[in-house]
Amino acid sequence: MMMSHFTAVLIFAACVSVVFGITQRSETRAMVKYGLYCFGLFVVGTIAASWAMALIKR
Amino acid sequence: MATSQAQAQKLAEANPRTARAYGVFFAGWVVPGAGHFMERRWWRGLLVFAAVVVLFSCGLAMGGKVYSPNAGDVLDILGFFGDMGAAGLYALARIAGWGAAPVQIVVADYGTKFVVVAGLLNFIAAVDAHDIALGKKR
């Protein structure tokens, strides 16, 4: 299966965030909030790191 | 040895919750989400199952490698332990011969990491189910 690197990041972030949310918090609301927080950090962190590497390469 | 087994049995009899908690952990280790299902956390179990299976399947579909037991490179040994975190899926992949092809493209290398992380996530989820069974977590 061929997929773009960004699609791979989204799938990875979604799956990891779901498990992190479930395992690291006790209340349903806190699980959802923490899962979304992790997902955001994964995606934003990846985009930031990508831009940093692109700028370093220049 | 016999004494420690007898002690463990006494402990299990004294606290059946502990013995059951190990069963919950084992079930969660073999089948993703099974530990949560045993604790009647249906949605959590379903989500853990979906997340681990999707990650593992995507890893294989991307051409990721499934590590076999080895005594070679340290990273290969760690990769094997990571894969073993999802014991049922790992056994299925090994029996079916999935993930045996050599990694030649970047996406396949990502796939290898997907498979390892799926195993590690499943291990975390199994420990979480164990904690629920012990009453440490709701």
Chain B's closest residue to A19, CA to CA, is B48
Where do the H-state alpha helices sit in A1-58?
5-24, 28-57
Partners of A2 on chain B (C-beta within 8 Å) are 107
Q: Closest residue of A to B129, CA-based?
A: A23
* Residue given tokens 């990769």 in the structure block: B79
The pLDDT, as a whole number, for residue A14 is 98
ipTM of the complex: 0.92
Q: How confident is the model over A9-24, as pLDDT tens digits?
A: 999 999 999 999 999 9
- pLDDT, tens only, B23-59: 999 999 999 999 999 999 999 999 999 999 999 999 9
pLDDT > 90 fraction of chain B, expressed in percent and rounded? 72
End-to-end CA distance of chain A: 31
pLDDT at B14 over 70: no
The answer, for B108 touching chain A at a CB cutoff of 8 Å, is: no
On whether the CB atoms of residues B51 and B110 are closer than 8 A, the answer is no
Residue B63 has pLDDT above 80, yes or no: yes
Domain boundaries along the sequence of chain B: 42-138
